[in-house]
Copies of this chain bind each other. A is one copy, B any other.
Amino acid sequence: MPHVSRSQSQLVVLQDGLFREVPLDPLTRKICLRLNPPSLADNLADVDRLRESLQPLLGPVTVPLPLMRAVPEACRQQDWVVTATVGMTGRGWELVDLEPGDTSGRHFGLAVDIGTTTVVAYLVDMRTGRVLDVAAGCNGQVAFGEDILTRIYLAGTTDGLAQMQKSVVGTLNCLVKQLEERCAVAPEEVSAVVASGNTTMMHFLLGLDPAQICREPYHPVVNNPGFLRAQEIGLKINPLAILYCLPGVGSYVGGDVIAGVLVSGMHRREELALFVDIGTNAEMVLGNKDWLAACAGAAGPALEGGVARVGMRAEPGAIKSVRIDQQNHRVHYQVIGKVKPKGICGSGLVDCLAEFFLNGIIDRSARFRNGRTFFTLVPAAESATGEDITVAQTDLDNLMRTKGAVNAALETLLEGVGLGIGEIERFYVAGAFGMYLDTESAITIGLYPDLPRERIVRLGNSSGEGARQVLLSNQKRLEAEEIARRITYFELNASQQFMNRFVGSKFLPHTNLDYYPTVKEKLKKRGMVLDG
């Protein structure tokens, strides 16, 4: 099982220990059948013979026309020994493939996480649940625009939607091909795919118009597309492979969030838990086994890379962590890969904001003190570009907006259910960003609530892991659908309360410092005057 896999594009895709055991009851099954050859005394039609032998095992099985055509040849090639691949749909089992002989030893599926920036594909052995290999690549749509709104706009132009679909499916097909080659698996042997991603990405994958997602009243075309076939979107695996997309709840709480809740298990526990996934939007789910509430705030692209002047993705050359010496204000930084620094990725930027604050370089409203307009992190001589790597006021302002949106969303959600921050018993952080972000820095700037540290759990790529679990377990699929049904969705795009809180959450770590006792303590220890 791979621990951390960096694909050729060096994207971080998965962390140690994140695959969980699930009871094996996968989306597709392979069953080897020894059929009775037809005779004058038993001249049942071939397809009926197949269906009758599957019936006692699975109930009625639907055979699609292209497979009806293939049945006679498949049955006769290995003397009436065949292996049927059947796929679960909402309405019982359907035939996905029929191979001559016993091929039940080879059975593969794909779990796919479609991110706005990165697409990750896991090739899964359906017999064991093991991930055989992982491939990740840049979502081909990035060529049309880094941010999601540009792509939604483009989808509204002539052929735009088709182009968006083609590019994401193209990325997927490229990853799948790599996996198939590396693991010596034929495309036809892949009989099931589960895809997870935000609502817009799911729309693009299926060729659905996302126009209404960003228009009041902000609703998707569909939240639960159900069971489709791979050929319907041009995926180059078994054309009849079952394609299932994790259900979403609304325009800004998609299948990736449902996957996260599923992987956390918060929907099955007594304790009050909060799940947070911070990207362009901060999506969060609060609740426990009795209730679930969700919302999403537009966090802005500050942490997505490519927006801050020196911002970049978590690729080689990115400064991933920053510490500033309390005594001499000297900068210590770590870079991804053994190369000179080129820019700063999200976790580095969060560190900067926290360290600037703790060292009095900025004030509580994140403004540089003493007339300073920027801070030089890396002098030109040390950088890969030959220019200074600096953090400017605008970079800090962008990050403050993100933090403000997260704060405001969480507080609106908590108030909606009448609870306080301190009552959160478990705090789940999703995504690669959550994986590498320094928890102390995130708390110092107020991005995370100031909870006892043992309550904070990093889930890693819970979107991909949720897809894998649903691929392997019908029970997990039903759980995911149940989660989507149970969640009460608070639409914040039009919430005045959210806007008020957003405008009010301009301070580090929070307007009310008492919500952040450990940060207050830190500041006190440093003898800093609390100027809020």
Q: How many copies of the polypeptide does the oligomer hold?
A: 2
* Contact status A232-B65, CB under 8 Å: yes
CB closest chain-B residue, reference A225: B68
Residues of the B chain whose Cβ atoms lie less than 8 Å from the Cβ of A44: 219
What separation, in Å, do the CA atoms of A92 and B91 have in the docked complex? Answer: 9
Residues of the B chain whose Cβ atoms lie less than 8 Å from the Cβ of A65: 206-207, 225, 228, 232-233
A221 interface residue (CB < 8 Å to B): yes
Our pick among B60, B90, B222, B224 for the contact of A46 (Cβ within 8 Å) is B222
What separation, in Å, do the CA atoms of A140 and B528 have in the docked complex? Answer: 93
CB closest chain-B residue, reference A65: B232
Residues of the B chain whose Cβ atoms lie less than 8 Å from the Cβ of A435: none
A441 interface residue (CB < 8 Å to B): no
A530 interface residue (CB < 8 Å to B): no
Given contacts A62-B226, A226-B62, contact A68 B219 (CB under 8 A): no
Give the bracket for the number of chain A residues in contact with chain B. 35 or more
List 10 A-B pairs, minimum CB-CB distance, nearest first. Answer: A47-B222, A43-B219, A91-B91, A43-B217, A45-B220, A45-B223, A40-B217, A45-B222, A65-B232, A38-B219
* Contact status B221-A43, CB under 8 Å: no
For this complex, 25 residue pairs linking A to B, each with C-beta atoms less than 8 Å apart, are: A38-B212, A39-B217, A40-B217, A40-B491, A42-B217, A43-B218, A43-B219, A45-B223, A46-B212, A47-B221, A47-B225, A48-B222, A60-B90, A62-B226, A63-B222, A65-B207, A65-B228, A68-B208, A68-B221, A68-B225, A69-B207, A72-B211, A72-B212, A73-B209, A91-B91
* Contact status B494-A68, CB under 8 Å: no
A250 interface residue (CB < 8 Å to B): yes
Residues of the B chain whose Cβ atoms lie less than 8 Å from the Cβ of A233: 65
A71 interface residue (CB < 8 Å to B): yes
Residues of the B chain whose Cβ atoms lie less than 8 Å from the Cβ of A212: 38, 46, 72
* Contact status B92-A43, CB under 8 Å: no
A216 interface residue (CB < 8 Å to B): yes
What separation, in Å, do the CA atoms of A38 and B217 have in the docked complex? Answer: 7
CB closest chain-B residue, reference A207: B69
Residues of the B chain whose Cβ atoms lie less than 8 Å from the Cβ of A48: 222-224
Q: Mark A42-60, 1 if CB is under 8 A from B, else 0.
A: 1111111000000000001
Residues of the B chain whose Cβ atoms lie less than 8 Å from the Cβ of A47: 221-223, 225
A163 CB, nearest partner CB in chain B, Å = 15
A264 CB, nearest partner CB in chain B, Å = 24
Q: Mark A87-115, 1 if CB is under 8 A from B, else 0.
A: 00011100000000000000000000000
What separation, in Å, do the CA atoms of A43 and B295 have in the docked complex? Answer: 13
A436 CB, nearest partner CB in chain B, Å = 34
What separation, in Å, do the CA atoms of A221 and B209 have in the docked complex? Answer: 41
CB closest chain-B residue, reference A211: B72
Residues of the B chain whose Cβ atoms lie less than 8 Å from the Cβ of A71: 221-222
Residues of the B chain whose Cβ atoms lie less than 8 Å from the Cβ of A69: 206-209, 221
Given contacts A43-B250, A250-B43, A491-B40, contact A221 B62 (CB under 8 A): no
What separation, in Å, do the CA atoms of A221 and B226 have in the docked complex? Answer: 30
What separation, in Å, do the CA atoms of A120 and B45 have in the docked complex? Answer: 27
* Contact status A206-B68, CB under 8 Å: yes
Q: Which of A39, A222, A232 has the most CB of B within 10 A?
A: A222
A2 CB, nearest partner CB in chain B, Å = 33
A113 CB, nearest partner CB in chain B, Å = 21
* Contact status A219-B46, CB under 8 Å: yes
* Contact status A45-B219, CB under 8 Å: yes
Residues of the B chain whose Cβ atoms lie less than 8 Å from the Cβ of A60: 90
Our pick among B42, B91, B221, B494 for the contact of A45 (Cβ within 8 Å) is B221
What separation, in Å, do the CA atoms of A228 and B209 have in the docked complex? Answer: 27
Q: Mark A222-254, 1 if CB is under 8 A from B, else 0.
A: 111110100011000000000000000011000
CB closest chain-B residue, reference A218: B43
A141 CB, nearest partner CB in chain B, Å = 18
What separation, in Å, do the CA atoms of A44 and B220 have in the docked complex? Answer: 8
A100 CB, nearest partner CB in chain B, Å = 16
A61 CB, nearest partner CB in chain B, Å = 11
Residues of the B chain whose Cβ atoms lie less than 8 Å from the Cβ of A221: 45-47, 68-69, 71-72
* Contact status A40-B216, CB under 8 Å: yes
* Contact status A222-B43, CB under 8 Å: no
Q: Mark A478-493, 1 if CB is under 8 A from B, else 0.
A: 0000000000000100
Residues of the B chain whose Cβ atoms lie less than 8 Å from the Cβ of A40: 216-218, 491, 494
A496 CB, nearest partner CB in chain B, Å = 11
